[in-house]
Amino acid sequence: MDSDIKSIKEKLRIASLLAVNAGFIDAYTFFHFQGRFAGAQTGNLVQAGIALAQGNWQLTGNFLMPILFFMVGIAFKTVVTHIRVKHKLDSTTYLLWVQLIFIWLFVTFYSAFFQVNGTLEISILSFIMAIQMNNFTVTHGLGYGSIFSTANMRSFAQGLVQYGLTRDKADLKKAGVYFSLVFSFLTGAVMSTWLQYFFAGWTLYGSVIILVIVIYIFHSELVNMKKYLLRSYNSLDK
């Protein structure tokens, strides 16, 4: 079971959908939370440093809070994985459901009741993004960032240049993987921005739909694998 889930979670279509989701959420927070991002904590750290240098303690706290929630999200994922692995339970799809439910609750309560450009709201989304980042780290045997694009762009450029120097198709394939991730992130940002004009705060339901698709792919792949193993066993039994 563990090896089956590992092979599914490393598929490029899963990684690409998660990149779409990351771009979608970051565009949403940029639109609704005064140009801030839920995933890109470097930006929060820079702005916290600027506010600190200016002696603005409240603003410093506003930028440090999402960073703190992000680290709590990493810790949460690590603890959950440890507990579930210890009891021989799957953590990948479980954490996907956690991520989906958190986002669904967030968009429902935020859009229906609050509509406040608050630090707490973006901090909650930073917590959610941390879970995704720490849950998915490899695709096609390559390390990648499921909520950032900077490292993916570096790896794309590196692979492309390396192919130009060596003509090794493995380098071209590597560049193609990272290009797919960068393009997917951009696609998510574009989709989210367009939808903002029609659905405003409710736009984040798009992230829920993306995660439902990811979970559906996981379920379908597992079912197909079980059917294949059953057919193989039956053929050997004969």
Residue burial 33-72, b: 16+ Cβ < 10 Å; e: rest: beebbbbbbebbeebbeebeeeeeeebbebbbbbbebbee
Task: Write down the pLDDT at residue 31.
Answer: 85
User: Is residue 212's pLDDT more than 90?
Assistant: yes
Residues forming beta bridges with residue 138, ordered by sequence position: 143
48 is in which domain, residue-wise? 2-140+149-237
Task: Write down the pLDDT at residue 73.
Answer: 95
Q: Could you tell me what percent of the chain has a pLDDT over 90?
A: 62
Lowest-pLDDT range, 32-36, 185-189, 216-220, 231-235?
Answer: 231-235
Task: Write down the pLDDT at residue 71.
Answer: 96
What distance in Å separates the CA atoms of residue 184 and residue 205, rounded to the nearest whole number?
Answer: 18
Residue for token pair 């990811």: 214
Task: Write down the pLDDT at residue 237.
Answer: 56
pLDDT tens digits for range 50-84: 999 999 998 898 899 999 999 999 999 999 999 98
Question: C-alpha dihedral over 50, 44, 67, 69, to 10 degrees?
Answer: 130
4 vs 216, which has greater pLDDT? 216
Q: Pick from 57-61, 85-89, 151-155 the range whose average pLDDT is largest.
A: 151-155
Q: What is the residue-wise DSSP string for 93-145?
A: HHHHHHHHHHHHHHHHHIIIII----HHHHHHHHHHHHHHHHH--EETTEE--
Residues forming beta bridges with residue 142, ordered by sequence position: 139
pLDDT grade, residue 231 (50/70/90)?
low
191: domain CATH number is 1.20.1250
Residue type at position 64: L
User: Is residue 117's pLDDT more than 70?
Assistant: no
The model scores a pTM over 0.75:
yes
pLDDT tens digits for range 29-52: 988 887 788 888 888 899 899 999
Pairing status of strand 142-143 against strand 138-139: antiparallel
The whole-number average pLDDT for the span 127-133 is 95
The whole-number average pLDDT for the span 177-192 is 97
Total count of domains within the chain? 1
